[in-house]
Chains A and B, each alone.
Chain A
Protein backbone atom coordinates (compact mmCIF):
# COMPACT_ATOMS: atom_id res chain seq x y z
CA UNK A 1 0.00 0.00 0.00
CA UNK A 2 1.49 3.35 -1.00
CA UNK A 3 1.87 6.28 1.34
CA UNK A 4 -0.95 8.84 1.41
CA UNK A 5 0.31 12.34 0.76
CA UNK A 6 -2.15 15.14 1.29
CA UNK A 7 -1.75 18.59 -0.18
CA UNK A 8 -3.58 21.59 1.26
CA UNK A 9 -3.68 24.89 -0.59
CA UNK A 10 -4.72 28.04 1.28
CA UNK A 11 -5.76 31.21 -0.52
CA UNK A 12 -4.53 34.31 1.30
CA UNK A 13 -7.37 36.55 0.10
CA UNK A 14 -10.29 34.26 0.90
CA UNK A 15 -8.73 32.13 3.62
CA UNK A 16 -10.18 29.10 1.86
CA UNK A 17 -8.21 25.84 2.13
CA UNK A 18 -8.59 23.03 -0.38
CA UNK A 19 -7.22 19.62 0.57
CA UNK A 20 -6.53 16.85 -1.90
CA UNK A 21 -4.60 13.60 -1.95
CA UNK A 22 -1.76 13.06 -4.39
CA UNK A 23 -2.54 10.22 -6.78
CA UNK A 24 -1.08 8.45 -9.81
CA UNK A 25 1.80 10.08 -11.60
CA UNK A 26 1.73 13.08 -9.26
CA UNK A 27 2.24 10.82 -6.23
CA UNK A 28 4.94 8.84 -8.04
CA UNK A 29 6.76 12.06 -8.92
CA UNK A 30 6.58 13.28 -5.32
CA UNK A 31 7.92 10.01 -3.91
CA UNK A 32 10.68 9.82 -6.53
CA UNK A 33 11.68 13.40 -5.85
CA UNK A 34 11.78 12.83 -2.10
CA UNK A 35 13.90 9.71 -2.58
CA UNK A 36 16.26 11.65 -4.85
CA UNK A 37 16.63 14.41 -2.26
CA UNK A 38 17.36 11.84 0.42
CA UNK A 39 19.94 10.18 -1.85
CA UNK A 40 21.59 13.54 -2.53
CA UNK A 41 21.78 14.21 1.17
CA UNK A 42 23.22 10.77 1.92
CA UNK A 43 25.84 11.32 -0.78
CA UNK A 44 26.83 14.62 0.81
CA UNK A 45 27.02 13.01 4.24
CA UNK A 46 29.12 10.17 2.85
CA UNK A 47 31.51 12.62 1.19
CA UNK A 48 31.76 14.59 4.45
CA UNK A 49 32.47 11.40 6.40
CA UNK A 50 35.21 10.39 3.97
CA UNK A 51 36.69 13.86 4.25
CA UNK A 52 36.59 13.62 8.06
CA UNK A 53 38.46 10.30 7.95
CA UNK A 54 41.09 11.79 5.63
CA UNK A 55 41.38 14.83 7.91
CA UNK A 56 41.83 12.64 10.98
CA UNK A 57 44.57 10.67 9.20
CA UNK A 58 46.42 13.88 8.30
CA UNK A 59 46.09 15.23 11.85
CA UNK A 60 47.43 11.93 13.22
CA UNK A 61 50.39 12.10 10.83
CA UNK A 62 51.09 15.67 11.97
CA UNK A 63 50.52 14.81 15.60
CA UNK A 64 47.83 17.51 16.01
CA UNK A 65 44.48 17.42 17.77
CA UNK A 66 41.29 19.05 16.37
CA UNK A 67 41.61 21.78 19.01
CA UNK A 68 45.22 22.49 18.05
CA UNK A 69 44.23 22.68 14.39
CA UNK A 70 41.42 25.08 15.26
CA UNK A 71 43.91 27.26 17.13
CA UNK A 72 46.23 27.24 14.10
CA UNK A 73 43.37 28.20 11.76
CA UNK A 74 41.87 30.87 14.03
Chain B
Protein backbone atom coordinates (compact mmCIF):
# COMPACT_ATOMS: atom_id res chain seq x y z
CA UNK B 1 0.00 0.00 0.00
CA UNK B 2 1.15 3.55 -0.77
CA UNK B 3 0.69 6.93 0.92
CA UNK B 4 0.48 5.45 4.43
CA UNK B 5 1.68 8.64 6.08
CA UNK B 6 -1.15 10.66 4.51
CA UNK B 7 -3.77 8.04 5.27
CA UNK B 8 -2.90 8.03 8.95
CA UNK B 9 -4.33 11.56 9.22
CA UNK B 10 -7.93 11.32 10.49
CA UNK B 11 -8.96 14.47 8.59
CA UNK B 12 -7.70 12.95 5.33
CA UNK B 13 -9.62 9.75 6.06
CA UNK B 14 -12.74 11.78 6.67
CA UNK B 15 -12.13 13.75 3.47
CA UNK B 16 -11.90 10.59 1.36
CA UNK B 17 -14.98 9.20 3.06
CA UNK B 18 -16.86 12.38 2.25
CA UNK B 19 -15.90 12.09 -1.42
CA UNK B 20 -16.48 8.40 -2.15
CA UNK B 21 -18.99 7.45 0.57
CA UNK B 22 -18.94 4.34 2.76
CA UNK B 23 -19.18 1.89 -0.15
CA UNK B 24 -16.21 3.44 -1.92
CA UNK B 25 -14.06 3.66 1.18
CA UNK B 26 -12.35 0.24 0.78
CA UNK B 27 -11.06 1.46 -2.61
CA UNK B 28 -10.06 4.93 -1.40
CA UNK B 29 -8.43 3.77 1.83
CA UNK B 30 -6.04 1.21 0.35
CA UNK B 31 -4.31 2.68 -2.70
CA UNK B 32 -1.90 0.13 -4.19
CA UNK B 33 1.58 1.01 -5.41
CA UNK B 34 1.70 1.58 -9.14
CA UNK B 35 -1.00 0.81 -11.68
CA UNK B 36 -4.05 -1.32 -11.12
CA UNK B 37 -7.18 -2.25 -13.10
CA UNK B 38 -10.71 -1.91 -11.80
CA UNK B 39 -11.15 -5.69 -12.07
CA UNK B 40 -8.07 -6.34 -9.97
CA UNK B 41 -9.33 -3.98 -7.28
CA UNK B 42 -12.81 -5.51 -7.28
CA UNK B 43 -11.38 -8.98 -6.88
CA UNK B 44 -8.81 -8.06 -4.28
CA UNK B 45 -11.30 -6.10 -2.15
CA UNK B 46 -14.23 -8.40 -2.86
CA UNK B 47 -16.42 -5.55 -4.12
CA UNK B 48 -18.88 -5.04 -6.96
CA UNK B 49 -17.12 -3.80 -10.08
CA UNK B 50 -19.58 -0.91 -10.32
CA UNK B 51 -18.76 0.32 -6.82
CA UNK B 52 -15.05 0.20 -7.61
CA UNK B 53 -15.54 2.14 -10.85
CA UNK B 54 -17.72 4.71 -9.16
CA UNK B 55 -15.07 5.44 -6.53
CA UNK B 56 -12.28 5.57 -9.10
CA UNK B 57 -14.17 8.13 -11.16
CA UNK B 58 -14.88 10.28 -8.10
CA UNK B 59 -11.18 10.18 -7.24
CA UNK B 60 -10.41 11.06 -10.87
CA UNK B 61 -12.74 14.08 -10.76
CA UNK B 62 -10.91 15.30 -7.67
CA UNK B 63 -7.43 14.89 -9.21
CA UNK B 64 -6.72 11.98 -6.90
CA UNK B 65 -6.45 9.29 -9.58
CA UNK B 66 -5.44 9.13 -13.24
CA UNK B 67 -5.81 6.38 -15.83
CA UNK B 68 -4.45 5.30 -19.15
CA UNK B 69 -6.29 3.13 -21.60
CA UNK B 70 -4.84 0.07 -23.31
CA UNK B 71 -6.55 -1.71 -26.19
CA UNK B 72 -6.18 -5.46 -26.34
CA UNK B 73 -5.22 -6.10 -29.95
CA UNK B 74 -7.02 -9.44 -30.23
CA UNK B 75 -10.31 -8.70 -28.53
CA UNK B 76 -10.40 -4.95 -29.11
CA UNK B 77 -11.36 -4.46 -25.44
CA UNK B 78 -10.14 -1.43 -23.55
CA UNK B 79 -8.38 -1.86 -20.23
CA UNK B 80 -8.13 1.06 -17.83
CA UNK B 81 -4.94 1.18 -15.80
CA UNK B 82 -5.39 3.39 -12.77
CA UNK B 83 -2.82 5.25 -10.70
CA UNK B 84 -3.67 6.86 -7.36
CA UNK B 85 -2.42 10.46 -7.13
CA UNK B 86 -2.74 11.08 -3.41
CA UNK B 87 0.17 13.51 -3.43
CA UNK B 88 -2.50 16.00 -4.47
CA UNK B 89 -4.52 15.59 -1.26
CA UNK B 90 -2.68 18.31 0.71
CA UNK B 91 -3.19 20.88 -2.08
CA UNK B 92 -6.86 19.94 -2.33
CA UNK B 93 -7.31 20.42 1.41
CA UNK B 94 -5.42 23.71 1.27
CA UNK B 95 -7.92 24.87 -1.36
CA UNK B 96 -10.75 23.75 0.93
CA UNK B 97 -9.26 25.83 3.74
CA UNK B 98 -9.40 28.91 1.49
CA UNK B 99 -13.01 28.11 0.53
CA UNK B 100 -13.96 27.67 4.16
CA UNK B 101 -12.26 30.96 5.04
CA UNK B 102 -14.23 32.87 2.38
CA UNK B 103 -17.50 31.31 3.48
CA UNK B 104 -16.81 32.15 7.13
CA UNK B 105 -16.07 35.78 6.26
CA UNK B 106 -19.32 36.12 4.32
CA UNK B 107 -21.35 34.36 6.97
CA UNK B 108 -19.85 36.48 9.74
CA UNK B 109 -21.00 39.61 7.91
CA UNK B 110 -24.50 38.18 7.65
CA UNK B 111 -24.56 37.23 11.33
CA UNK B 112 -23.34 40.66 12.38
CA UNK B 113 -25.81 42.55 10.23
CA UNK B 114 -28.99 40.72 11.10
CA UNK B 115 -31.15 40.22 14.14
CA UNK B 116 -32.58 36.83 14.88
CA UNK B 117 -35.53 35.33 16.70
CA UNK B 118 -35.77 31.76 17.87
CA UNK B 119 -38.60 29.34 18.51
CA UNK B 120 -37.12 27.40 21.40
CA UNK B 121 -39.64 24.57 21.00
CA UNK B 122 -38.85 23.85 17.33
CA UNK B 123 -35.25 25.18 17.37
CA UNK B 124 -35.97 27.23 14.26
CA UNK B 125 -34.28 30.57 13.75
CA UNK B 126 -35.94 33.50 11.94
CA UNK B 127 -34.54 36.77 10.65
CA UNK B 128 -36.15 39.85 12.17
CA UNK B 129 -38.23 40.55 9.03
CA UNK B 130 -39.51 36.98 8.85
CA UNK B 131 -40.27 36.95 12.55
CA UNK B 132 -42.25 40.18 12.21
CA UNK B 133 -44.24 38.74 9.29
CA UNK B 134 -45.22 35.85 11.54
CA UNK B 135 -46.16 38.26 14.36
CA UNK B 136 -43.28 36.79 16.45
CA UNK B 137 -45.15 33.51 16.73
CA UNK B 138 -43.65 30.29 15.43
CA UNK B 139 -45.50 29.22 12.26
CA UNK B 140 -44.95 25.56 13.20
CA UNK B 141 -46.15 25.45 16.79
CA UNK B 142 -47.59 28.89 17.50
CA UNK B 143 -45.46 29.58 20.56
CA UNK B 144 -43.88 33.01 20.99
CA UNK B 145 -40.40 33.58 19.54
CA UNK B 146 -37.57 34.83 21.70
CA UNK B 147 -34.94 37.30 20.58
CA UNK B 148 -31.70 35.39 20.00
CA UNK B 149 -28.20 36.55 20.69
CA UNK B 150 -25.61 35.20 18.21
CA UNK B 151 -22.49 36.60 19.93
CA UNK B 152 -21.22 33.14 20.64
CA UNK B 153 -21.52 32.13 16.98
CA UNK B 154 -19.76 35.27 15.80
CA UNK B 155 -17.06 34.86 18.42
CA UNK B 156 -16.29 31.28 17.39
CA UNK B 157 -16.23 32.33 13.73
CA UNK B 158 -13.78 35.13 14.62
CA UNK B 159 -11.52 32.64 16.31
CA UNK B 160 -11.52 30.16 13.45
CA UNK B 161 -10.95 32.93 10.91
CA UNK B 162 -7.91 34.09 12.90
CA UNK B 163 -6.46 30.61 12.94
CA UNK B 164 -7.09 30.08 9.22
CA UNK B 165 -5.52 33.44 8.38
CA UNK B 166 -2.51 32.60 10.47
CA UNK B 167 -2.13 29.16 8.91
CA UNK B 168 -2.63 30.31 5.31
CA UNK B 169 -0.74 33.61 5.71
CA UNK B 170 -3.80 35.61 4.69
CA UNK B 171 -3.80 39.29 5.61
CA UNK B 172 -7.01 39.93 7.51
CA UNK B 173 -9.24 42.66 6.11
CA UNK B 174 -8.28 45.88 7.80
CA UNK B 175 -11.86 47.01 8.13
CA UNK B 176 -13.15 43.64 9.42
A binds B: no
Interface set of A (CB-CB < 8 Å, partner B)? none
